[in-house]
Amino acid sequence: MHHFEVKRGKMTCEGVPVRRIAEAVGTPVYVYSHATLSHHYKVFDDAFAGIPHVICYSMKANSSGSVIRTFTNLGSGVDIVSGGELARALDAGAPPSKIVYSGVGKQIWEIEEALRRGILMFNVESREELETIDAVAGRMRKRAPIAIRVNPDVDPKTHPYISTGLKKNKFGIRIGDAIREYEWAARRKHIEVVGVDCHIGSQLTEISPFVDAAGRIRLLVDRLLRKGLPIRLVDIGGGLGITYREELPPHPKQYADAVARAFSGLEITLVLEPGRVLVGNAGVLLTRVLYTKAAPSLKGKGKKHFFIVDAAMNDLARPSLYGSYHAIVFAGPAAGKTVTADVVGPICESGDFLAKDRRLPMARPGDLLAVMSAGAYGFSMSSNYNSRPRAAEVMVSGRRFEVVRERESLRELAGGERIPSFLSPGRRKAR
């Protein structure tokens, strides 16, 4: 469900025609629907109503302060993967008591900052990380609350780059080694064992991998409890998929029921780290057609058209990176006859495309297109490749819209840059 609609050839986001946003802010621009974000959060939260739980929005999906604040205003915590995310989560109003810190490569300054703020727990991914956290907490005269991220070795049946719960992946500790690692951790003076964690991958569209993983985690939790370890938090990560094309992912309720069943009878609080499912369909990327051209006809086939647009792989990397599908929709009237087209950006790589071989109405320069379902892993993965300023971001609520991040300026592109003295001609200053 989302609040982007095309009626009589015009796309609106909630009560705002998106053409107005493009005219006021320029393109490319990300547009987020506040009502959609809130709705997704509430549906997810309600699904778990029957069981004590904390939702920690996985902010790497979309790190916009306005998006995070939308969720923290509704009671959400945040799942972070870096010290930068910690800072931004706190700025956006996340209570430290609802922040969980995931990731395989936490640095000392990041651990220190998280301890200083008093986060809910560290999801620890290796023995060496445990040692480091113990040492840092010792120096700070604190005890660090931890869960071990266990790798349950289940196949999430998703794209290999976003599959994380197989034993060949870099993530977590093998489930078979978990007991030993927990017993070791429990003996550290500055570590407090509080939970068990797993996250098996992203964009899962079937329930069975979640059920398998939860079942294995349940067995582990039972064994840890029998050994007297005070497990009170069970974090089952994120990963619930969304519809980009024709996928039929489980409804949050179905997902919640399956998870709750796996942990029934335990006195634990579930920690959930949804990312994509909350934000993916709540955002679009608006882009304008710059030029069109056609490739020579292929034998027996019609012409292949290219719509060259002002958004590119630096703005939305998913198609180039994972071959992902994003629907392309004309945000304004489309009168042309239907053609087969690639929607491509200006970047000097053949991998720079937003869509391939789509049946679309023939475009004209100036046409406004919406790249759908771009709210997750869109802006947050964007870069400056080809020295392209990063896009602006807008949030819509009802009939209002506001810029929530300015388009990057050309000045900011070279922000921290210095020309070394040995490159300065003669004695002239570098600039």
Ligand X SMILES: *Cc1c(COP(=O)(O)O)cnc(C)c1O
Beta carbon nearer to ligand X, 84 or 333? 84
Choice among 13, 56, 198, 348 that is catalytic: 348
Taking the C-alpha atoms of residue 36 and residue 62, their distance in angstroms, rounded to an integer, is 14
Position 172 contacts ligand X (CB under 6 A) = no
From 100, 172, 107, 98, select the one nearest 133 (Cα to Cα).
Answer: 107
Question: Which of 28, 165, 252, 275 touches ligand X (CB under 6 A)?
Answer: 275
Position 40 contacts ligand X (CB under 6 A) = no
Position 61 contacts ligand X (CB under 6 A) = yes
- How many residues appear in the chain? 431
Position 292 contacts ligand X (CB under 6 A) = no
Taking the C-alpha atoms of residue 320 and residue 351, their distance in angstroms, rounded to an integer, is 6
> DSSP character for 406?
P
Beta carbon nearer to ligand X, 197 or 352? 197
User: Contact region for ligand X (CB under 6 A) — 46-54, 83-91, 126-134, 271-279?
Assistant: 271-279
Taking the C-alpha atoms of residue 253 and residue 276, their distance in angstroms, rounded to an integer, is 16
Closest contact distance (angstroms) between CB of 282 and ligand X is 13
Position 305 contacts ligand X (CB under 6 A) = no
Would you say 38 and 70 are in contact if contact means Cβ atoms under 8 Å apart? yes
Would you say 378 and 30 are in contact if contact means Cβ atoms under 8 Å apart? yes
Which residue type is seen at 36?
A: T
Taking the C-alpha atoms of residue 220 and residue 150, their distance in angstroms, rounded to an integer, is 10
Closest contact distance (angstroms) between CB of 365 and ligand X is 36
Closest contact distance (angstroms) between CB of 280 and ligand X is 8
Secondary structure of residue 403 in the 3-state scheme = strand
Closest contact distance (angstroms) between CB of 375 and ligand X is 11
From 81, 184, 111, 190, select the one nearest 144 (Cα to Cα).
Answer: 190
Closest contact distance (angstroms) between CB of 252 and ligand X is 11
From 115, 71, 70, 68, select the one nearest 96 (Cα to Cα).
Answer: 115
Site for ligand X in 83-112 (CB under 6 A): 102
Taking the C-alpha atoms of residue 127 and residue 146, their distance in angstroms, rounded to an integer, is 12
Closest contact distance (angstroms) between CB of 204 and ligand X is 7
Alpha carbon separation from 250 to 132, 211, 315, 396 (Å, rounded): 39, 12, 29, 28
Minimal CB distance residue for ligand X: 275
Question: Which of 34, 60, 218, 388 touches ligand X (CB under 6 A)?
Answer: 60
Taking the C-alpha atoms of residue 79 and residue 58, their distance in angstroms, rounded to an integer, is 5
Position 151 contacts ligand X (CB under 6 A) = no
Adjacent-strand bridge partners of 395? 32, 402
* Residue 13: active-site member: no
Question: Which of 2, 3, 276, 388 touches ligand X (CB under 6 A)?
Answer: 276
Site for ligand X in 182-241 (CB under 6 A): 199, 202-203, 237-240
Position 79 contacts ligand X (CB under 6 A) = yes
Taking the C-alpha atoms of residue 311 and residue 27, their distance in angstroms, rounded to an integer, is 8
Position 36 contacts ligand X (CB under 6 A) = no
User: Total number of residues binding ligand X (CB under 6 A)?
Assistant: 18
Closest contact distance (angstroms) between CB of 58 and ligand X is 3
Beta carbon nearer to ligand X, 61 or 344? 61
Q: Which residues are catalytic?
A: 348
Using CB under 6 A, list all residues that contact ligand X: 58, 60-61, 79, 102, 199, 202-203, 237-240, 273-277, 376
